[in-house]
């Protein structure tokens, strides 16, 4: 591996203009494809096939084609001025006018008047009208939305307070906005401090942006074919930018080190790609495994996000291995530190903060290990109180009309009104379909916790009926979950008596089912990615205990990060500082999402840091000295890489979308815990306690494993300055260890 990458680095350095031209052609080609590709639309795939709520939703689409359940909707809430009622003549006229005008729009299938549908609160202070569209929200044009907004503005002119919920006018989530730009600026500052050179700081940023540009353009170009959207590409942007900067950072840092050791530019580029590039390849593979492993969860959207992000990571690896050495060839001295350019190479070892910290840990490994485990364990305690759900309008800021509409409906009609349960009855096996549906609605209406049941509506074929049940509690409350389970428990008895069956769906039931399914999928997912990654790390480090230690450290950091997410977003600790106006259940996708991404990133730092220790050990250092050597060369760069990732992820905390905000925060704190506590403290403490046993591998297993030479042992003959371009000789045998 090291020899192959060494030659790749030298070739890219020598043929730098050709490599740069090829990347420019790739970027231009995918950019042109993105510009000419049709806009991506909903591919119609189920959110999570197999769960009851999704089956019921699909049944509605099959038996009630063109129904309101399949199209966009707007729930327009009217609040009368203080002391007035919505039923007053002037207020009623304004509401009637809005409904009439909205009903005449070409894409509107129905506009329901609150006075004919009984959608008026008991105190007559609040009413709501429902506008249903023939098409989904993504297919509404700007003209459709503008027409609805104008009718709403007219109603507001009458003195009514009018707020809008539903999907028709819902704002599209923004990935990070200005806060994301701030994250990039912070990354640039960290690079400048780390390298002390504008060119060295700018090169990783430039190559990362190029890599993300290629990835996002490819996603847009293939969007209409595979149902990929900008939301699908959010994770690709986030990870592509973060790992793109980090991978280039490691190659540039190793290039500067080799130049400082006296190697000429082309040789230094080859050695940098052969050594640091090997770590980049395997670190990238661990991230790809974690992201591609999201496919086993069974959520098509999550699968697409994971595969798109995995593609972005692969692009980042290719950029680091080819474009970075090519750009180094264009400006071979610009990335060097000022003292190196002025004074020339300075061969020899010198202590730095990294080596001093390593010696500190090696002197007191037990105390450091106990402190790390206890601290992260304490931070992980909130995980025991984790409640999963799917944040809706209640999690939006109060400045949004969706949140104000949600609150007005809860005040006027009750907490459960914002999360009605939709029940679809299949009456093909019933002798008397109408009687069967009447008995089902009566039984569900009498269930404890149900406030009201709407009249059932049959489809044209008469083989299915649709109605809704309003719970007494809010969508994310535990009692609502228990209610859904109670209704489903009644099904067997009703089916025996009537010959008809039913299924429960709606946003509330969907969120409950998704949360349970994701919880069930977490253990198999962990088994897949941890198993594959352990095999990969076993090959990389040729050790049994180092991969196990890496997995243990990952579990500590991810549980601590998830605990911090629960404390902030569920308990509300410090939520105001992050712009979280409403705490509540954690997004159902968050735990499995965090586990997958953090696992990949944790293995990134493990490979970068421990590969350098392994390199020193293979080249003759004793186990404790190998730890010190690894920290001397890698600690500063790993810390810089972690700070950069935290800056990039923190940028997404500025998003107005709850999901993206939660993901950004979770990833930022996970990197903080993993890089600064686990990799910088726990790892050297464990290696100090294990000593030479850390690198133990049974002889039979050693013979079975392929020798990938990540530590660059095959490049030993080139370690001396001025080594010529002769063929690489085989590395000497690793010295025997006691």
Please give the Cα distance from 617 to 636 (Å, whole number).
Answer: 20
Least confident of 92-96, 185-189, 685-689, 716-720: 716-720
pLDDT at residue number 67:
62
Please give the Cα distance from 243 to 258 (Å, whole number).
Answer: 23
The first and second tokens of residue 600, run together, are 């990949």
User: Is pLDDT above 60 for 720?
Assistant: no
Confidence class for position 173, pLDDT limits 50, 70, 90 = low
Question: Closest Cα partner for 652 from 125, 120, 236?
Answer: 236
C-alpha distances (whole Å) from 644 to each of 37, 192, 589, 670 are 33, 11, 25, 13
* Cα 650 versus chain centre, distance: 13
Are 694 and 687 spatial neighbours (Cβ–Cβ below 8 Å)? yes
**Terminal Cα distance for the chain, rounded:** 28
φ and ψ at residue 66, rounded to 5 degrees: 80, 10
pLDDT at residue number 509:
93
φ and ψ at residue 390, rounded to 5 degrees: -130, 105
Give residue-wise pLDDT tens across range 544-599: 999 999 889 988 999 999 999 999 988 989 888 887 777 778 888 888 888 888 88
User: Is pLDDT above 50 for 72?
Assistant: yes
C-alpha distances (whole Å) from 654 to each of 175, 325, 469, 662 are 8, 35, 37, 10
Share of the chain above pLDDT 90, in %: 49
Please give the Cα distance from 279 to 273 (Å, whole number).
Answer: 9
The first and second tokens of residue 445, run together, are 């209406």
In this prediction the pTM is: 0.79
Q: How many CA atoms lie within 13 A of 674 on its CB side?
A: 38
DSSP state letter for 390? -
701 vs 38, higher pLDDT: 701
DSSP state letter for 585? S
Per mean pLDDT, which of 78-92, 193-207, 647-661 is the most reliable?
78-92
Element containing residue 165 per DSSP (H, E): strand 161-166
Please give the Cα distance from 159 to 136 (Å, whole number).
Answer: 31
User: Is pLDDT above 80 for 656?
Assistant: no
Per-position DSSP letters for 426-494, written without gaps between them: E-TT-SSHHHHHHHHHHHHHTSTTEEEEPPPEE-TTSSEEEEEEEESS-TTSHHHHHHHHHHHHTHHHH
pLDDT at residue number 349:
53
- What average pLDDT is seen over the chain? 86
Please give the Cα distance from 597 to 305 (Å, whole number).
Answer: 11
Please give the Cα distance from 280 to 321 (Å, whole number).
Answer: 8
User: Is pLDDT above 50 for 727?
Assistant: no
Give residue-wise pLDDT tens across range 295-327: 888 788 888 888 999 999 999 999 999 999 999
Confidence class for position 731, pLDDT limits 50, 70, 90 = very low
pLDDT at residue number 365:
96
Confidence class for position 526, pLDDT limits 50, 70, 90 = confident
C-alpha distances (whole Å) from 152 to each of 148, 171, 237, 319 are 6, 16, 36, 51
The first and second tokens of residue 12, run together, are 């890219």
Question: Closest Cα partner for 619 from 602, 633, 606, 635?
Answer: 633
Structure-token match 């906005």, residue found? 177
User: Is pLDDT above 80 for 361?
Assistant: yes
C-alpha distances (whole Å) from 716 to each of 9, 115, 291, 634, 712 are 16, 84, 35, 19, 7
150 vs 340, higher pLDDT: 150
C-alpha distances (whole Å) from 706 to each of 113, 544, 659 are 72, 15, 42
Length of the chain: 738
Question: Closest Cα partner for 38 from 283, 222, 248, 273?
Answer: 222
Rounded to an integer, the average pLDDT of 678-703 is 93
Question: Closest Cα partner for 280 from 245, 317, 311, 305?
Answer: 317
User: Is pLDDT above 70 for 452?
Assistant: yes
- Other C-beta atoms closer than 10 Å to the C-beta of 597 total 27
Share of the chain above pLDDT 70, in %: 90
Are 369 and 686 spatial neighbours (Cβ–Cβ below 8 Å)? yes
pLDDT at residue number 351:
79
The first and second tokens of residue 321, run together, are 């291995």
Pairing assessment for the beta strands 501-505 and 586-587 based on DSSP bridges: unpaired
DSSP state letter for 382? G
User: Is pLDDT above 50 for 463?
Assistant: yes
Are 594 and 659 spatial neighbours (Cβ–Cβ below 8 Å)? no
Per-position DSSP letters for 178-224, written without gaps between them: HHHHHHHHHHHHHHHHHHS-HHHHHHHHHHHHHHHHHHHHHHHHHHH
pLDDT at residue number 208:
92
Are 40 and 136 spatial neighbours (Cβ–Cβ below 8 Å)? no
CB burial of residue 696 (10 Å; 0-12, 13-18, 19+): middle
Please give the Cα distance from 423 to 465 (Å, whole number).
Answer: 8
Helices (H) and strands (E) in the chain, counts: 26, 11
Give Dmax over CA atoms of the chain in angstroms.
95
Please give the Cα distance from 605 to 550 (Å, whole number).
Answer: 10
191 vs 348, higher pLDDT: 191
pLDDT at residue number 328:
95
pLDDT at residue number 80:
95
Say what angle helices 177-195 and 623-651 make with each other, to 10 degrees: 150
C-alpha distances (whole Å) from 233 to each of 23, 62, 110, 156, 238 are 21, 30, 34, 38, 9
Least confident of 25-34, 61-70, 344-353, 468-477: 344-353
Give residue-wise pLDDT tens across range 372-412: 999 999 999 999 998 887 777 777 778 789 889 999 999 99
Confidence class for position 713, pLDDT limits 50, 70, 90 = low
pLDDT at residue number 716:
56
Rounded to an integer, the average pLDDT of 616-625 is 88
Cross-strand pairs, 469: 421, 453
C-alpha distances (whole Å) from 190 to each of 181, 195, 203, 325, 651 are 14, 9, 13, 21, 15
Please give the Cα distance from 603 to 606 (Å, whole number).
Answer: 5
Confidence class for position 294, pLDDT limits 50, 70, 90 = confident
CB burial of residue 589 (10 Å; 0-12, 13-18, 19+): buried
pLDDT at residue number 193:
85
Please give the Cα distance from 298 to 300 (Å, whole number).
Answer: 6
pLDDT at residue number 168:
87
Assign 84 to helix, strand or coil. Answer: coil
pLDDT at residue number 726:
39
Element containing residue 557 per DSSP (H, E): helix 545-565
Confidence class for position 660, pLDDT limits 50, 70, 90 = confident
Pairing assessment for the beta strands 161-166 and 450-453 based on DSSP bridges: unpaired
């Amino acid at each position: 591996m090291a020899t192959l990458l060494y030659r790749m680095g030298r070739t890219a350095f020598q043929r730098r203009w050709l490599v740069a031209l090829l990347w420019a052609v790739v970027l231009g080609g995918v950019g042109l494809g993105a510009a000419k590709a049709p806009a991506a639309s909903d591919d119609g795939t189920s959110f999570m096939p197999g769960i009851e709520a999704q089956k019921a939703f699909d049944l509605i689409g099959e038996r009630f084609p063109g129904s309101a359940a399949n199209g966009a909707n707007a729930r327009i809430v009217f609040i009368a001025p203080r002391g007035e009622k919505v039923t007053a003549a002037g207020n009623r006229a304004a509401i009637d006018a809005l409904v009439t005008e909205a009903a005449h729009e070409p894409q509107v299938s129905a506009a329901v008047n609150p006075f004919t549908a009984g959608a008026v609160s008991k105190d007559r202070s609040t009413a709501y009208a429902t506008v249903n569209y023939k098409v989904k929200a993504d297919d509404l044009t700007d003209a459709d939305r503008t027409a609805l907004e104008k009718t709403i503005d007219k109603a507001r002119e009458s003195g009514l307070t009018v707020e809008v919920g539903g999907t028709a006018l819902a704002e599209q989530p923004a990935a990070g906005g200005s806060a994301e730009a701030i994250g990039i600026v912070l990354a640039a500052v960290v690079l400048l401090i780390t390298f002390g050179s504008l060119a060295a700081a700018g090169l990783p940023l430039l190559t990362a942006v190029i890599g993300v540009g290629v990835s996002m353009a490819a996603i847009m170009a293939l969007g209409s074919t595979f149902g990929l959207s900008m939301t699908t590409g959010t994770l690709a942007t986030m990870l592509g930018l973060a790992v793109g900067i980090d991978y280039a950072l490691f190659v540039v840092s190793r290039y500067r080190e080799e130049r400082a050791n006296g190697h000429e530019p082309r040789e230094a580029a080859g050695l940098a790609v052969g050594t640091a590039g090997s770590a980049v390849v395997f670190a990238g593979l661990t991230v790809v495994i974690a992201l591609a492993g999201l496919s086993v969860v069974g959520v098509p959207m999550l699968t697409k996000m994971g595969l798109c992000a995995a593609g972005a990571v692969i692009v980042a690896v290719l950029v680091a291995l080819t474009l970075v050495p090519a750009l180094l060839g264009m400006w071979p001295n610009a990335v060097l530190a000022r003292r190196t350019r002025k004074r020339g190479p300075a061969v020899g070892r010198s202590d730095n903060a990294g080596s001093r910290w390593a010696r500190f840990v090696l002197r007191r490994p037990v105390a450091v290990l106990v402190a790390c485990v206890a601290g992260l364990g304490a931070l992980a305690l909130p995980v025991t109180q984790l409640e999963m759900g799917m944040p809706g309008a209640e999690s939006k800021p109060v400045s949004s009309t969706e949140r104000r509409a949600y609150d007005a409906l809860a005040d006027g009609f009750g907490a459960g009104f914002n999360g009605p349960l939709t029940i679809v009855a299949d009456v093909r096996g019933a002798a008397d379909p109408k009687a069967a549906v009447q008995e089902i609605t009566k039984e569900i209406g009498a269930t404890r916790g149900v406030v009201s049941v709407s009249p059932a509506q049959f489809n044209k074929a008469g083989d299915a009926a649709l109605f809704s049940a309003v719970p007494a509690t809010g969508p994310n409350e535990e009692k609502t979950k228990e209610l859904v389970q109670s209704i489903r428990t009644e099904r067997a008895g009703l089916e025996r008596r009537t010959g008809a069956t039913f299924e429960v769906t709606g946003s509330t039931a969907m969120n409950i089912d998704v949360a349970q399914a994701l919880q069930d999928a977490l253990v198999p997912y962990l088994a897949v990615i941890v198993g594959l990654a352990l095999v990969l790390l076993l090959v990389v480090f040729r050790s049994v205990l180092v991969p196990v230690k890496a997995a243990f450290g990952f579990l500590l950091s991810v549980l601590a990060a998830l605990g911090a997410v629960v404390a902030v977003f569920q308990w509300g600790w410090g939520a105001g500082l992050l712009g979280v106006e409403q705490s509540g259940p954690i997004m159902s996708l968050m735990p499995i999402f965090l586990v997958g991404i953090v696992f990949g990133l944790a293995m990134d730092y493990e490979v970068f840091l421990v590969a350098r220790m392994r390199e020193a050990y293979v080249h003759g250092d004793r186990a404790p000295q190998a730890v010190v050597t690894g920290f001397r060369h890698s600690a500063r760069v790993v810390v810089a890489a972690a700070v950069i990732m935290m800056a990039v992820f923190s940028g997404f905390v500025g998003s107005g979308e709850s999901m993206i905000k939660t993901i950004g925060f979770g990833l930022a704190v996970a990197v903080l815990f993993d890089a600064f506590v686990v990799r910088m403290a726990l790892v050297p403490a464990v290696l100090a306690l294990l000593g030479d046993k850390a690198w133990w591998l049974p002889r039979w297993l050693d013979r079975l494993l392929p020798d990938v030479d990540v530590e660059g042992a095959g490049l030993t003959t080139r370690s001396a300055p001025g080594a010529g371009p002769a063929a690489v000789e085989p590395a000497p045998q690793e010295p025997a260890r006691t």
